[in-house]
Amino acid sequence: MTEEEKQEETAAGEATSDEAAAAAGETAEDEKAAGASASGAAGAEGKEPEQMTEAELRDALEKQFREQQVGDMLVQYMAGLSHIAYIKMGLTEDTADVKDMAQASLAIDAFKAMLEAAHDRLHPQDANALAGALASMQMTFAQASGGAAGGEGEPESGTEEKKEGGSAADRLWVPGKE
């Protein structure tokens, strides 16, 4: 695989992971600010998390949780699930050694379940971005696993459909389709 092909493949996975991150409102600057606020949440001492006692860390986390909106936290967690799903698909030379399609499937299924549970309670822009990220993950998973119906490690779409023996096309999540 040429360096250019690796970059294109990595960019494809990062683009959908970036969709989920965008829904979470994350940027590199946001992550730095979050890190700064996490270390600053301990109090006026200005201690780094490594220098804080267990009680100080617990208090800082408690303060953050009190201020955090559940929807925002959910979107951030889903961005993390998206990222780990792509890593576990082993799409790049850097991630090939950790390829585990069963783990990728679990991450995708968890993402889908969380989206279904919270879709109507999330900001519409976030819900739509996450739905797009899910569709991209599912397509990438199908391609990475060879696209074979009923293939090993295929993401579950529902135990009822699996028991009924529905085809892979029937189990593919489509935006707006229940």
Mean pLDDT per segment of 10 residues, for the chain of length 178 residues?
A: 50 53 46 42 64 92 92 94 96 95 97 96 94 96 74 46 49 56
Whole-prediction pTM value? 0.59
pLDDT at position 160 is: 42
State the total domains in the chain.
1
Residues 44/45/50/53 CA torsion (nearest 10 deg): -100
**Is residue 178 a part of any domain in this protein?**
no
Q: Is residue 117 part of a domain?
A: yes
Residue 34 lies in a domain: no
In a domain, 38, yes or no: no
97: in domain: yes
Q: Is residue 31 part of a domain?
A: no
pLDDT of residue 63: 93
Burial label, 6 (beta-carbon count in 10 A; 0-12, 13-18, 19+): middle
Range of the domain at 148: 3-24+70-171
Pair 149, 167: CB distance under 8 Å: yes
Which residue is listed with tokens 């890190």?
35
pLDDT of residue 161: 41
Buried b (16+ CB within 10 A) or exposed e, 144-153: bbeeeeeeeb
- Is 150 contained in some domain? yes
Question: What pLDDT, on a 0 to 100 scale, did the predictor assign at position 34?
Answer: 43
The answer to whether residue 83 sits within a structural domain is yes
